[in-house]
Amino acid sequence: MAMKRAASSAVRSLLSSTASTFCRNIHVPGESKKIVGVFYKGNEYAKLNPNFVGCVEGALGIREWLESQGHQYIVTDDKEGPDSELERNLSDAHVIISTPFHPAYVTAERIKKAKNLELLLTAGIGSDHIDLKAAAAAGITVAEVTGSNVVSVAEDELLRILILIRNFLPGYHQAVNGEWNVAGIAHRAYDLEGKTVGTVGAGRIGKLLLQRLKPFNCNLLYFDRLRMDPELEKEIGAKFEEELDAMLPKCDVIVINTPLTEQTRGLFDKEKISKCKKGVLIVNNARGAIMDTQAVADACSNGHVAGYSGDVWFPQPAPKDHPWRSMPNHAMTPHISGTTIDAQLRYAAGVKDMLDRHFRGEDFPEQNYIVKEGQLASQYR
Amino acid sequence: MAMKRAASSAVRSLLSSTASTFCRNIHVPGESKKIVGVFYKGNEYAKLNPNFVGCVEGALGIREWLESQGHQYIVTDDKEGPDSELERNLSDAHVIISTPFHPAYVTAERIKKAKNLELLLTAGIGSDHIDLKAAAAAGITVAEVTGSNVVSVAEDELLRILILIRNFLPGYHQAVNGEWNVAGIAHRAYDLEGKTVGTVGAGRIGKLLLQRLKPFNCNLLYFDRLRMDPELEKEIGAKFEEELDAMLPKCDVIVINTPLTEQTRGLFDKEKISKCKKGVLIVNNARGAIMDTQAVADACSNGHVAGYSGDVWFPQPAPKDHPWRSMPNHAMTPHISGTTIDAQLRYAAGVKDMLDRHFRGEDFPEQNYIVKEGQLASQYR
């Protein structure tokens, strides 16, 4: 590994044409790299908080450090189409840093153009905006800051469960509109206590959610490929469900906590939603494309789904006429849960750490890899 | 007691003029009583949920039971002014059932008019809409359904903490308005984890909130007259603060969990708010009058308070021009947290139980009494 990464610039073209597909992340210590970061613009908000490092202006707070080491650091929000700043910098970029909150779609075509690309880093979690198979085939390493957003997203999921079950938004609208009609809120407001909450997927975020739900005295269920360690399961107090279709009709609240893969894309279509209890509440901070967009909008309109909340859409940014913006009983926001100030500081530190290791030819923390040496991480296979 | 309550209708006027002030809740088993319930109207929502018993139409679900026992049951939402249905039924009412969600103000003047009044029941918790001293002096028993709302309100407080700290509402507005500007949300969105949350008052609701906060890994503080049992304090994981003014500057989030009394009325005025950390978030589901209305609105406008959320106002219903409806960074609703469907079913059952005991001449569960035999419960003294 160390030898391979130490290959000089001069032999790079030779290597990339003759050696294995794992060889793109070659490296010469001390060599100047071109790093392209694609984030959302802060605009007037950029200066309001010194810890707001996740925006273009904040640039993860690593510009000074990168430039002091002789690297070039281009940061932009301009990512769509052939004239975008991302596209114009593709051909000689060594590293692209992207985020799920303003996803720079790194397609097979773009990977082909990016001849020097060694490393794709996700500032945050969730790398499905990258064509992982194409990246693997091209020998590019893909990594994210695993763990940087898990607490943020789990907290946000509990927020959304409470917003829906307690029917917060109609009350807020009344307050703003000068109204006072308790019945208009109370007739469909419930306590969370005593309800059945099921998570589809119980990875790190799902587990943190279940832990936060425990004092609410709910009936907690989880569906996943693997059952938790019995000790942990007992501590968390959730019951394992072997079959998704067996869990769905039991749940008053369903939370999606599974990555977007070929298996989960469009999983919640009309048929799957019809298996849920009438009046179910659904929270999805995972990925928008796990749901069939129109099926969700229809189920909210006909009342089968009594409330839907999440911060993920397909595509992102959501178009102005995305049906989830106007369907009844939604509590949607733009993609935000994993980019709190606290999360930004965590993923900025994680990106800096991985860049530093990359420059030194060192491995990343194992759990950060999404594509390593041509292999996809297990959750993306 | 049993003897006193068994006094016949014939001797009532004698008793009430000559005996002690504790004698109004006299009773003859089997006698027909007039019960007046004052609730909010359900209108078009009344029929949408068979468990929606808290509205006028739902009438706590006790009409059939009361009438089958020969009692008269008047239910109305009409409570203001001399021509209101409440006022017109005062003179011969034996029992008035009111709720904090649509408070029938039972003043000294009204108590004077209600010559037959024996019992004031609060369907829910919080009897400060009743002139308790006047009720005590007139020998009227006042009781509420202690415990019926505690889970509901504690859940709702945690909801409001999360709404404010994670900056939910600007994101929701973007979703509805066809916008996508992550920076506009993220620059002031935080995780709850690691923040300092202090409750002013740690009675039943405060304790339930602290228990629900525990898995969020916050720094938890509480101010109260009495320190908790050390075992409980350790289990809950909150630190006791002897002085309110010492706790306030430490808190990122302050939650009000104290009843409205002469000591707490207007407690959070301009001076008290100035002792809080700049950027503090305040949640108040206790009573609106604990805050100085204008001081809160001013502090939200100048940014000293970064967010304010609650479901209590003074007065209630809040007038259309109440400043909290339009102040920046609020997440207000009408008075709702203790009247979820679950809470309604609990307080309806509690009211029925107390009426049943009253008709039988039996005592109530001790913790339900607010005024008993001329004495106010300790928290209202």
Residue-level pLDDT at A90 = 97
Q: Which residues of B touch A52 (CB under 8 A)?
A: 183, 186-187
Asked if B260 and B243 touch (Cβ cutoff 8 Å), the reply is no
Q: Does the distance separating the beta carbons of B184 and A45 come in below 8 Å?
A: yes
Q: Give Cα B328 distance to the centre of its chain.
A: 25
pLDDT classification of B228: cutoffs 50, 70, 90: very high
Per 3-state DSSP, what percentage of chain B is helix, strand, and coil (rounded to 5)? 40, 15, 45
Q: What whole-number distance in Å separates Cα of residue B268 and Cα of residue A198?
A: 41
My answer on whether omega of the bond before B317 falls inside 30° of 0, hence cis, is: yes
Q: What whole-number distance in Å separates Cα of residue A167 and Cα of residue A185?
A: 6
Q: Which of B25, B316, B329, B344 is catalytic?
A: B316
Residue-level pLDDT at B19 = 38
Q: Which of A335, A344, A358, A368 is catalytic?
A: A335
Q: Is B24 tagged catalytic? A: no
Alpha carbon of A183: minimum distance to chain B alpha carbons (Å): 5
Whether residue A310 is predicted with pLDDT greater than 80 in this model: the reply is yes
Q: What whole-number distance in Å separates Cα of residue A267 and Cα of residue A205?
A: 19
Taking CA atoms, B302 is separated from B294, B305, B309, B326, B327, in Å, by 12, 8, 16, 14, 10
Residue-level pLDDT at B8 = 35
**What backbone phi and psi angles, to 5 degrees, belong to A166?**
-90, 0
Asked if B138 and B21 touch (Cβ cutoff 8 Å), the reply is yes
Q: Is A259 annotated as a binding residue?
A: yes
Which string of DSSP letters, residue by residue, matches A295-344?
Answer: HHHHHHHHTSEEEEEES--SSSSPPTT-GGGTSTTEEE-SS-GGGSHHHH
- Binding-site residue set of B for NAD(+): 204-205, 224, 259-263, 285, 311, 335-338
CA nearest neighbour of A154 among A255, A80, A68: A255
Residue-level pLDDT at A9 = 37
Asked if B261 and B379 touch (Cβ cutoff 8 Å), the reply is yes
Whether residue B55 is predicted with pLDDT greater than 80 in this model: the reply is yes
Q: Which residues of A touch B49 (CB under 8 A)?
A: 187-188
Q: Could you report the per-residue pLDDT of A352-362, keeping only the tens digit for each?
A: 999 999 999 99
For residue A336, give the nearest of B182, B340, B341 by CB distance: B182
Residue-level pLDDT at B381 = 74
Alpha carbon of B272: minimum distance to chain A alpha carbons (Å): 25
DSSP element (H, E) containing B354: helix B341-360
Residue-level pLDDT at B379 = 73
Q: Is the dihedral of CA A335, B330, B248, A158 positive or negative?
A: negative
My answer on whether omega of the bond before B215 falls inside 30° of 0, hence cis, is: no
Whether residue A3 is predicted with pLDDT greater than 90 in this model: the reply is no
Whether residue B209 is predicted with pLDDT greater than 50 in this model: the reply is yes
B68 exposed, middle or buried (CB, 10 Å; 0-12, 13-18, 19+)? exposed
ipTM of this predicted complex?
A: 0.90
Q: Could you report the per-residue pLDDT of B252-294, keeping only the tens digit for each?
A: 999 999 988 889 999 999 999 999 999 999 999 999 999 999 9
Q: Collapsing DSSP states into helix, strand and coil, what is residue A79? A: coil
User: Among all residues of chain B, which has the CA nearest to that of A346?
Assistant: B191
The pTM of this model reads 0.90
Q: Which residues of B touch A308 (CB under 8 A)?
A: none
DSSP B259: -
Q: Is A149 tagged catalytic? A: yes
Q: What angle do CA B220, B226, B231 make, to 5 degrees?
A: 60
CA nearest neighbour of B257 among B317, B318, B190, B212: B212
Residue-level pLDDT at B42 = 97
For residue A318, give the nearest of B180, B325, B339 by CB distance: B180
Q: What whole-number distance in Å separates Cα of residue B320 and Cα of residue B239?
A: 40
Q: Could you report the per-residue pLDDT of B142-196, keeping only the tens digit for each?
A: 999 999 999 999 999 999 999 999 999 999 999 999 999 999 999 999 999 999 9
**What backbone phi and psi angles, to 5 degrees, belong to B127?**
-115, 25
For residue B190, give the nearest of A182, A316, A340 by CB distance: A340
Q: Collapsing DSSP states into helix, strand and coil, what is residue A89? A: coil
Lateral strand order in the sheet of A253-256? A238-241, A219-223, A196-200, A253-256, A280-284, A305-310, A330-332
Q: Which two tokens stand for residue A51?
A: 């810890």
Average pLDDT estimate for A291-295? 98
**What backbone phi and psi angles, to 5 degrees, belong to A76?**
-150, 165
Average pLDDT score over chain B: 92
Q: Is B335 tagged catalytic? A: yes
Q: Could you report the per-residue pLDDT of A210-262, keeping only the tens digit for each?
A: 999 999 999 999 999 999 999 999 999 999 999 999 999 999 999 999 988 88
Q: Does the distance separating the beta carbons of A341 and B189 come in below 8 Å?
A: yes
Average pLDDT estimate for B7-28? 41
Q: Which residues of B touch A336 (CB under 8 A)?
A: 171, 182, 185-186, 189
For residue A48, give the nearest of B163, B187, B337 by CB distance: B187
Whether residue A327 is predicted with pLDDT greater than 80 in this model: the reply is yes
Interstrand relation of A95-98 and B34-38 (parallel, antiparallel or unpaired): unpaired
Alpha carbon of B374: minimum distance to chain A alpha carbons (Å): 33
Q: Which of A25, A149, A284, A329 is catalytic?
A: A149
Whether residue B36 is predicted with pLDDT greater than 70 in this model: the reply is yes
Residue-level pLDDT at B29 = 57
Q: What whole-number distance in Å separates Cα of residue A119 and Cα of residue A97?
A: 8
Q: What is the 3-state secondary structure (H, E, C) of B209-239?
A: HHHHHHHHCCEEEEECCCCCCHHHHHHHCEE
My answer on whether omega of the bond before B315 falls inside 30° of 0, hence cis, is: yes
B150-332 carries CATH number 3.40.50.720: yes
DSSP A257: -
Whether residue B12 is predicted with pLDDT greater than 80 in this model: the reply is no
Average pLDDT score over chain A: 92
* Number of Cβ atoms within 10 Å of the Cβ of A17: 8
Taking CA atoms, A305 is separated from A58, A165, B201, in Å, by 40, 12, 38
Whether residue B307 is predicted with pLDDT greater than 50 in this model: the reply is yes
Q: Which two tokens stand for residue B269?
A: 């005025």
**What backbone phi and psi angles, to 5 degrees, belong to B254?**
-120, 130
Q: Is A196 annotated as a binding residue?
A: no
User: Among all residues of chain B, which has the CA nearest to that of A236?
Assistant: B215
Q: Could you report the per-residue pLDDT of A124-175, keeping only the tens digit for each?
A: 988 889 999 999 999 999 999 999 999 999 999 999 999 999 999 999 999 9
Q: Which residues of B touch A43 (CB under 8 A)?
A: 181, 183
Which string of DSSP letters, residue by residue, matches B108-123?
Answer: HHHHHH-TT--EEEES
DSSP element (H, E) containing B153: helix B150-165
Q: How many CB pairs under 8 A join A and B?
A: 219
- The class level of CATH for A20-148+340-380 reads alpha beta
Q: Is B360 tagged catalytic? A: no
Residue-level pLDDT at A28 = 53
Residue-level pLDDT at A2 = 32
- Binding-site residue set of B: 125, 149, 204-205, 224, 259-263, 285, 311, 335-338
Q: Is A338 annotated as a binding residue?
A: yes
Domains of chain B: which residue ranges? 20-148+340-380, 150-332
Q: Is A261 annotated as a binding residue?
A: yes
Alpha carbon of A61: minimum distance to chain B alpha carbons (Å): 14
Q: Is the dihedral of CA B65, B66, B69, B72 positive or negative?
A: negative
Q: Which residues of A touch B48 (CB under 8 A)?
A: 187-188
Q: Which two tokens stand for residue A11?
A: 């032999």
Q: Could you report the per-residue pLDDT of B140-151, keeping only the tens digit for each?
A: 999 999 999 999
Alpha carbon of B33: minimum distance to chain A alpha carbons (Å): 28
Residue-level pLDDT at B31 = 85
Whether residue B52 is predicted with pLDDT greater than 70 in this model: the reply is yes
Whether residue A110 is predicted with pLDDT greater than 90 in this model: the reply is yes
For residue B215, give the nearest of A42, A214, A336 by CB distance: A214
Q: Collapsing DSSP states into helix, strand and coil, what is residue B277? A: coil
Q: Could you report the per-residue pLDDT of A19-77, keeping only the tens digit for each?
A: 344 445 455 556 899 999 999 999 999 999 999 999 999 999 999 999 999 999 999 99
Q: Collapsing DSSP states into helix, strand and coil, what is residue B248? A: helix
